[in-house]
Amino acid sequence: MLDRTAERDRVSQLMTSAAVEAAEFGEWAEATCEGPSTLAQLEQDVRHVARLYLTQPPLPLLRRVLRSRNRVFSLLEGRQRPAHARELYLLAGRLCGLAAWMVGDLGWPVEAQTHGRTALVCAEIADSPTLRGWIRATQSKLAYWDGRPKLSAELAEDGLRYALRDSAGGLLAGLAARARARIADASAARSHLRTGADALDRPPAEDVRGVFAFGEAQHHYLAGTTHLWLQEPEIAQQEADRAVWLFEGSAPRDRSYAPVSIALVDSAIAHLAAGELDSAAARLDSVFALPPDFRIDPIVRRLADLDRALRRLPPAGQAGRLATQLDEFRRAAS
């Protein structure tokens, strides 16, 4: 069985390497000015990585993103047809946005913000409201996990200026709701939740997948955290459990491990608030089982909030066991 697995891995590496070589030759053949096949290949790479990121650890995919980003930068620094310039800036913006998202997940917030600012510059040059909105969502996410909820809310609200007419508005509204709830602005948080729910009926502005997409599962995931910050644990538990159910019912390649894990932690925090330690522990089994490469910074930070809730309980029995598991998880993630 091990030999067969190793053989499959070798074949997979061969196929990936051969495809990369073919793409690079196609780019070289059009080197005097980038051609449509180069742009199509780069666009395909962006969409592919954005989807893979839902189910794979960030570091290997970040290397792919940076490689593609550098190829786009090189094309922009050389000669390009005017008709292709906007497409290249769109690609650069998406790639820098993906880099910002991934670098933040790896726990480098300052560097992630730099990628985000460059992404926004590219979005402005390309004059793409959709990309501006998505980059603002990325920046809002970065600020939230960096402990700056007020800035997170302001960035998401600014993004809503660009994305109110499509499903990206739902992501921005959900991020704004979560951040406003974190700073106890309950009225604004509830208003944003309503906006996010309304956005679920709208189609995306373009064919988006993976990290770029927003749907019902993400809405309930963000609503769960929002209601926890609003001191409404029963509603938070219902929203978080609904999110997990929706994610787990989706196709395997669309089952994003990060929001599922955070929703499970939110549900566990809600159960702790109700004194239901066994139910809380049951929610955390799959989170604690995550391989180290998947223990990204937002999951670790959300578990820190669970740890604070645990410290308010007597350090014995189930609470003590959970505290020990948390310590082991953090050590393996560092």
DSSP symbols for 226-269: HHHHTT-HHHHHHHHHHHHHHHHTS-GGG--HHHHHHHHHHHHH
What pLDDT sits at residue 80? 65
Give the CB-side neighbour count of residue 322, counting CA atoms within 13 A: 31
Q: Residue 2's CB: how many other CB atoms inside 10 A?
A: 6
Q: Is 49 exposed, middle or buried (0-12, 13-18, 19+ CB in 10 A)?
A: buried
Q: What's the pTM?
A: 0.86
Give the three-class secondary structure for 131: helix
Q: Residue 235's CB: how many other CB atoms inside 10 A?
A: 15
Q: Which residue has the higher pLDDT, 8 or 172?
A: 172
Backbone Cα Rg of the chain: 21
Residue 32's pLDDT band, with cuts at 50, 70 and 90, is very low
The Cα 227–Cα 232 span in angstroms is 5
The Cα 242–Cα 112 span in angstroms is 31
Candidate from 9-13, 116-120, 134-138 with smallest mean pLDDT = 9-13
Answer for the pair 219, 197: CB distance below 8 angstroms, yes or no: yes
Which residue carries 């700056």 as its tokens? 148
In sign, the C-alpha dihedral spanning 203, 206, 210, 212 is negative
Answer for the pair 73, 92: CB distance below 8 angstroms, yes or no: yes
pLDDT digits (tens, 9 = 90+) for 242-284: 999 999 998 888 889 999 999 999 999 999 998 899 999 999 9
Look at phi and psi of residue 210 and say left if phi exceeds 0, alpha if psi is from -120 to 50, else beta.
left
The b/e string for 268-279 (b: 16+ C-beta within 10 A; e otherwise) is bbbbbbeebbee
Question: Can you tell me the mean pLDDT for 59-68?
Answer: 94
Answer for the pair 202, 166: CB distance below 8 angstroms, yes or no: yes
**Of 152, 278, 211, 248, nearest in space to 240 by CA:** 248
What pLDDT sits at residue 171? 92
Per-residue pLDDT at 4 exceeds 60: no
What pLDDT sits at residue 319? 85
Instruction: State CA 261 to chain mean position distance.
Output: 12
Question: Can you tell me the mean pLDDT for 204-220?
Answer: 77
**Of 220, 148, 230, 216, nearest in space to 188 by CA:** 230
What pLDDT sits at residue 138? 96
